[in-house]
Structure 1
Amino acid sequence: MSTPTLRIASASGSVTDRRHALAQLAQQDDIQFIVGDWMSEYNMTTRGGAKSNGDPTSSEFETSFMEAIEPALEDIATRQIKVAVNAGASDTKKLHDALSAVIRSKKLDLKVAWVEGDEVSALLQESVQSGVEFKNLTTGRLLSDWEFTPIYAQAYLGAWGIVEALNQGADIVLCGRVTDASPTIGCAAYYHHWTRENYDQLAHAFVAGHFIECSTYVTGGNFSGFKSLSASSVDLAFPIVEIRPQGDFVVTMQEAKDGMVTADTCKAQLLYEIQGPLYYNPDVVAVLDQIVIRQQAANRVHVSNVKSIKPPPTTKIGITAHGGFQAEVHYFLCGLDIAEKAALLERQIRHLLDESQYHTLKFRVNGSCSSNPSNQDAATVDLRIFAQSRSEEALSQANFFRPCTDTIMQSYPGATFAVDARQASPRPYYEYFVSIFPQDQMRHICHLPFKQQSTAIDPPNETVPFQHDQTSYETKSPYDLEVFGPTTRAPLGYVVHARSGDKGSDCNVGFFVRHEDEWNWLRSLLTVEKVRELLGRDDEGREIFRFELSQLWAVHFLLKDHLDRGVASSSTYDVLGKNLAEYLRCKWVDIPDKFLSRGRI
């Protein structure tokens, strides 16, 4: 008989997360499972690229995971905690062997399984050679028209390899690239004995996994209401979900730690990285537009009413290619006439460069000089010259750095470039192509070395085709904004929360309000046209999809191909799209005075 006390903690949201979490959770908290994510689109490209290059210095798995788990192993063994993680990158078998060696050296009785099947380079090549076309999920372009040659491909696996490993007695399950939520889904399905057809339960576990996959993003990190945190907050608690047999769950966190779990932190995390009302996973599709998020008690938020659709026959695939090389030079401009100074410098440098050598060459002024600045730094802005080329020689010191800097004596008043020129040296970068791949062509395998056996994981039997373009709509029966009374011109973020993120080169951003009577104003204000207006010069006319989550008083927008090819190759500062929300929150709109009187976020 299943018990409703399942507690799963997240110990990592990225390769750069704080490494102490796993050991602390294993030692201090009343939990049965620990999950963690050390993967991202960026290290999928870099690890995969290094493997395809035969780089002998590359570990090909995420070493920071080893740093995190090694001090936790004794407590994991003593307290019989199960662990499932995304950390294998491009060589999960190598990670298994490394971790198993550490366990043996500590003389611990821990059984380690690993999941294979995410690396699909050979399968992709076979499909391409047989004439199958792959469409980019963000740009709509075909792989056959891509100007780059694939060198590595990795697909996102579902949770059932993890379930099989746990059913066979594994204590630790290592994955290379399952979906971010798959470890949580796998632990919940194993614990509650769900079948592959328990779609509503799986959909709830999927959303629970989404809440904790970014670790402290749901406990106050990356939160537009961060000023609500204690002034002394330095060590935010890592999150815990309690999942019931029916699927509904509570989000909570480590005790005696900084941070907070509120309905608003949960709403913000839900809106992060989704693409529409349908949230896709290889095992189930979660339907989000009627989800209910309710504050149950301090640092306890109950989540329910997640609907479901059968899984797609496909899963997401990331394809890596050598992009070439990139380099950048920075100049500093100060005080008056910033735009004119930047224009003069750009003309002079372009005159000295052979622009035919670069497929990307951008001059960008970042920041602005404040009015009557308080010191010189407040009056200084950065001009970034960013270039990419197929040729390393085109970005050599002689062909790029020197033409960019040799013009300094004839340029704008105060012309100064960054004397640390390490970024001006050519360094390789990767291009990334995101598409979908048939699950029934993949070789999803659960390896159980402690039993000297392996088990093939079948693809889903019943599926519903993947929707490339989800429902997009403007609000129904919008209000005339004048009915909300007198207004004051002020930043949108004074009364509106937001969260944004990346998927490939797409950028999503969700907005929500704190009070129910603000909802009709928000949904009436934030049209696609209004978002284009707020984007300003960053709007390049690409598609924008819009939908609403009325139960959350939230509006979500998906900006197609907004991030210039995505994190691995983007020419922008905001390569992950995380600052789009903060940019749009700082834009001025007419806000009803009665909302402003409640105090700003």
Structure 2
Amino acid sequence: MPSGQSQPFRIAAFSGFSGDKWTALKEQAEGSGCSVLFGDYLAEMNLATRALELRKRPDLGYEQSFLHHLRIAAPAIKQTRPKILTNAGALNPRGLAEKVARLLRDEGMSDLKVAYVEGDNIIDRLDELRAAGEDLHHLEDSSRRLDSWPLKPASANAYVGARGIVAALRAGADIVISGRCTDASPVIGAAAWWYNWSWDNYDALAGALLAGHCIECGAYVTGGNSSGFKGIKDYYNFSMGIAEIEANGTFVITKQPNLNGVVNTVTVRSQILYEIQGDVYLNPDVQALIDNIKVTGLDKDRVLVSGVRGIAPPDTTKAAICGVAGYQAETMVFATGLDIDEKFESLRVQIRNHLGTKGLDQFSVFDMTQYGTPKANPQSEADATSMMRILAQAPKIEAFGPTKNLMAFINPEGLGHFPGFQWLMDSRMCIPQPYIEYWPGRVRQAHLPLTVGFVGSDKRISVAPVTQTVPVQPQQDYDSAQAFDPNAYGPTTVGPLGWVVHARSGDKGGNANVGFFVRDQDEYDWLKALLSKKALVGLLAKDFDNNRLERVEFPGMLAVHFVIHDYLGKGVSSTVRIDCLAKSVAEFLRARHVEIPNKFLGRGKI
């Protein structure tokens, strides 16, 4: 049983995605001093990949990398005996739990109890749920019902909360394997178990949700993907975050002091702003109100997060539904030196003429996008070269011609190509492969009971669904309250926004989010006025496609946050953007030029 009533509950992260740092679990088991370790392995892309995998290997469907991480960490785990929580079970938590139990037996730890949580996988319940009144309508448009989707679902998983994890821990589980619980649910579950919170202790639950959000991406809170990376010494081999959660939900983010990385107000604000919907962070167990969130540096590698409030959870939760949409292939073509735009346009014309209207109509997507421009007066061939990525998607493989290979379309006139033509010699990506389209739906929580099982036992624990709910709290959305005056802070210099502004971006289904934040209050007053919705349209430039924008401010983080709707089309598994997770949006926008007050530049560039 937990014994931490009189001290903060401490939990350490060891993974932020399936292929994360292999030694992190070992490092946290050895040196974090935490009694609970947590690894997040899932994203929308993982579920799509696992759905394709199950078509060939019904015994898999889980994140196999967790087994490698566990094997490396086994000697340390044998010594320190932490509890380990993970959602690496993906589409087959029981299958992974059985593999984990076998590994533990081989490592001399057969006494550890391995539990698995099921109930998120609703692929076999879709007809039952429809009969119960569920239409699984689209997250962005309630008028679009799943029945209108032309694809056959290959997987369907509801984003469930922490209650199954709590039940497993209360029953004595040492390792808990979940499927598609939310990324932060293991942290909520561990804290709720530790403090024996009731499910209506919403402020505390909301704090644990944000603590989980801070550490769920592993090294992101210790310097990874940070716009302040130039100020971090030894920018490699990062440790992962540790959350110290108080009984009221207030928490401190920290790390092991002897390992690389840094925890400061920049890294913590970056992670809080990463992949959020706005000022309400939704979860199946609580809705966290973060409009008054405050981030305060305490000491070296110690940052306090306070001001999070909670209300009852929403009556619905997200359902990630994946279907095989057809076939996809891609490759890259390169042009060097002068007249890059003209060279690539000549290839576009050749390909369009070769395919003809009838041929192009067989593709749902045939995208040819240029990336990069050469340097002026280049000093090497690499400096003089740009790339055009060609991506093709079609519902039927026959669209790719008798050779069923995109290569046939890339150089349709043989040696009649533009001067200096090069293509990617590795042609494996040119062979069409099945690809997944993602449907983000909604399903009522009342229809989502969970079950906890234990490897080697017939014991099953039934976990009642969430029923004490309120409607979804609307996200605030408002524009800048004041007109921007470029001269309000004295003389200015035109230069990249990122000289004085940090930012972090990510994907939320087909949307992209981006949060901007600054160092000082006067910079924030300037930032709020500068970053109106109209100004963001201008900064997005050619990438703006009449996207709906949502905007909100976070004074306690000196931040302005946007959601850019439909930026990724149908989401990571089928978007035509090479930045499929929208991680580069922030860096693109930081590179855009604005008028910056010289007094801010005098404080140094980021």
The TM-score by the shorter chain falls in which range? over 0.9
- Counterpart of 2:104 in structure 1 is 103
- Judging changes above 3 Å, is the alpha-carbon distance between structure 1 residues 58 and 461 closer, same or farther for their aligned structure 2 residues? closer
Shift of 1:328: 1.6
Q: Tell me which of 415, 421, 432 is aligned to 2:421.
A: 415
* Partner AA of 2:155 in structure 1: Y
Are the equivalent residues in 1 in contact too, given 2:90–2:180 (CA < 8 A)?
Answer: yes
Are the equivalent residues in 2 in contact too, given 1:513–1:553 (CA < 8 A)?
Answer: yes
- Counterpart of 1:537 in structure 2 is 542
Are the equivalent residues in 1 in contact too, given 2:478–2:550 (CA < 8 A)?
Answer: yes
- Counterpart of 1:383 in structure 2 is 388
**What is the CA–CA distance in structure 1 between the aligned matches of 2:466 and 2:421, rounded to whole Å?**
62
Residue 402 (str. 1) matches residue 408 (str. 2): yes
Residue 492 (str. 1) matches residue 497 (str. 2): yes
Shift of 1:400: 3.6
- Counterpart of 1:331 in structure 2 is 333
- Counterpart of 2:85 in structure 1 is 84
Residue 547 (str. 1) matches residue 552 (str. 2): yes
- Counterpart of 1:212 in structure 2 is 215
Shift of 1:449: 4.2
Q: Tell me which of 6, 11, 16 is aligned to 1:8.
A: 11
Shift of 1:460: 2.5
Residue 452 (str. 1) matches residue 453 (str. 2): no
- Counterpart of 2:447 in structure 1 is 441
**What is the CA–CA distance in structure 2 between the aligned matches of 1:38 and 1:265, rounded to whole Å?**
21
**What is the CA–CA distance in structure 1 between the aligned matches of 2:547 and 2:133, rounded to whole Å?**
29
**What is the CA–CA distance in structure 1 between the aligned matches of 2:59 and 2:377, rounded to whole Å?**
51
More displaced stretch, 523-532 vs 77-86:
77-86
Q: Tell me which of 262, 268, 271 is aligned to 2:270.
A: 268
More displaced stretch, 531-540 vs 331-340:
331-340
- Counterpart of 1:589 in structure 2 is 594
Q: Map residues 239-250 of structure 1 onto 2, 5 A cutoff.
A: 239-250=241-252
Q: Tell me which of 20, 25, 36 is aligned to 2:23.
A: 20
Are the equivalent residues in 2 in contact too, given 1:60–1:91 (CA < 8 A)?
Answer: yes
Q: Deviations over 1:89-138 (max 9, x none)?
A: 11111111111112222332211111001101122233346664333224
Residue 234 (str. 1) matches residue 240 (str. 2): no
**What is the CA–CA distance in structure 2 between the aligned matches of 1:494 and 1:161, rounded to whole Å?**
46
Q: Deviations over 1:197-246 (max 9, x none)?
A: 1110000000000000000100000000001111x332111111111111
Are the equivalent residues in 2 in contact too, given 1:481–1:524 (CA < 8 A)?
Answer: no
Are the equivalent residues in 1 in contact too, given 2:397–2:404 (CA < 8 A)?
Answer: no
**What is the CA–CA distance in structure 2 between the aligned matches of 1:58 and 1:394, rounded to whole Å?**
32
* Partner AA of 1:316 in structure 2: K
Q: Tell me which of 188, 191, 209 is aligned to 1:188.
A: 191
More displaced stretch, 202-211 vs 167-176:
167-176
Shift of 1:457: 1.4
Shift of 1:383: 1.1
Q: Tell me which of 467, 475, 496 is aligned to 1:470.
A: 475
- Counterpart of 2:200 in structure 1 is 197
Q: Deviations over 1:533-562 (max 9, x none)?
A: 111111000211000101111000001110
- Residue aligned with 2:91, SS: coil
**What is the CA–CA distance in structure 1 between the aligned matches of 2:267 and 2:459, rounded to whole Å?**
43
Shift of 1:416: 2.1
**What is the CA–CA distance in structure 1 between the aligned matches of 2:277 and 2:414, rounded to whole Å?**
46
More displaced stretch, 265-274 vs 407-416:
407-416
More displaced stretch, 103-112 vs 579-588:
103-112
- Counterpart of 1:526 in structure 2 is 531
**What is the CA–CA distance in structure 2 between the aligned matches of 1:298 and 1:329, rounded to whole Å?**
46
**What is the CA–CA distance in structure 1 between the aligned matches of 2:574 and 2:204, rounded to whole Å?**
38
- Counterpart of 1:72 in structure 2 is 73
* Partner AA of 2:545 in structure 1: E
Shift of 1:471: 2.1
- Residue aligned with 1:572, SS: coil
Q: Map residues 288-327 of structure 1 onto 2, 5 A cutoff.
A: 288-327=290-329
Q: Deviations over 1:313-334 (max 9, x none)?
A: 1111100101110112321111
Are the equivalent residues in 1 in contact too, given 2:151–2:325 (CA < 8 A)?
Answer: yes
Q: TM-score, normalised by structure 2?
A: 0.95
Are the equivalent residues in 2 in contact too, given 1:138–1:506 (CA < 8 A)?
Answer: no
Q: TM-score, normalised by structure 1?
A: 0.96
- Judging changes above 3 Å, is the alpha-carbon distance between structure 1 residues 104 and 528 closer, same or farther for their aligned structure 2 residues? same
Q: Deviations over 1:129-183 (max 9, x none)?
A: 6664333224664323323222220111101111111111111111111100001
- Counterpart of 2:225 in structure 1 is 222
Indicate the percent of aligned positions where both proteins have the same amino acid.
Answer: 40
Residue 342 (str. 1) matches residue 344 (str. 2): yes
- Residue aligned with 2:487, SS: helix
Residue 359 (str. 1) matches residue 361 (str. 2): no
Are the equivalent residues in 2 in contact too, given 1:77–1:110 (CA < 8 A)?
Answer: no
- Judging changes above 3 Å, is the alpha-carbon distance between structure 1 residues 479 and 344 closer, same or farther for their aligned structure 2 residues? closer
- Judging changes above 3 Å, is the alpha-carbon distance between structure 1 residues 450 and 78 closer, same or farther for their aligned structure 2 residues? farther
Are the equivalent residues in 2 in contact too, given 1:250–1:300 (CA < 8 A)?
Answer: yes
- Judging changes above 3 Å, is the alpha-carbon distance between structure 1 residues 105 and 418 closer, same or farther for their aligned structure 2 residues? closer
More displaced stretch, 369-378 vs 197-206:
369-378
Are the equivalent residues in 1 in contact too, given 2:139–2:318 (CA < 8 A)?
Answer: no
- Residue aligned with 2:15, SS: coil
- Counterpart of 1:432 in structure 2 is 438
- Judging changes above 3 Å, is the alpha-carbon distance between structure 1 residues 341 and 561 closer, same or farther for their aligned structure 2 residues? same
**What is the CA–CA distance in structure 1 between the aligned matches of 2:584 and 2:598, rounded to whole Å?**
27
**What is the CA–CA distance in structure 2 between the aligned matches of 1:530 and 1:478, rounded to whole Å?**
11
- Counterpart of 1:372 in structure 2 is 377
Shift of 1:370: 1.4
* Partner AA of 2:97 in structure 1: H
Shift of 1:451: 5.6
Are the equivalent residues in 2 in contact too, given 1:334–1:380 (CA < 8 A)?
Answer: yes
Q: What is the RMSD computed on CA atoms of the aligned residues? A: 1.7
Query: Structure 1: which 5+ runs fail to align?
Result: none
* Partner AA of 2:514 in structure 1: V
* Partner AA of 1:585 in structure 2: R
* Partner AA of 2:569 in structure 1: D
More displaced stretch, 144-153 vs 7-16:
144-153
Are the equivalent residues in 1 in contact too, given 2:326–2:393 (CA < 8 A)?
Answer: yes
Are the equivalent residues in 1 in contact too, given 2:273–2:504 (CA < 8 A)?
Answer: yes
**What is the CA–CA distance in structure 2 between the aligned matches of 1:562 and 1:403, rounded to whole Å?**
28
More displaced stretch, 76-85 vs 542-551:
76-85
- Judging changes above 3 Å, is the alpha-carbon distance between structure 1 residues 132 and 81 closer, same or farther for their aligned structure 2 residues? closer
Q: Deviations over 1:269-328 (max 9, x none)?
A: 000000111000000011111011100000000111101111011111100101110112
- Judging changes above 3 Å, is the alpha-carbon distance between structure 1 residues 586 and 147 closer, same or farther for their aligned structure 2 residues? same
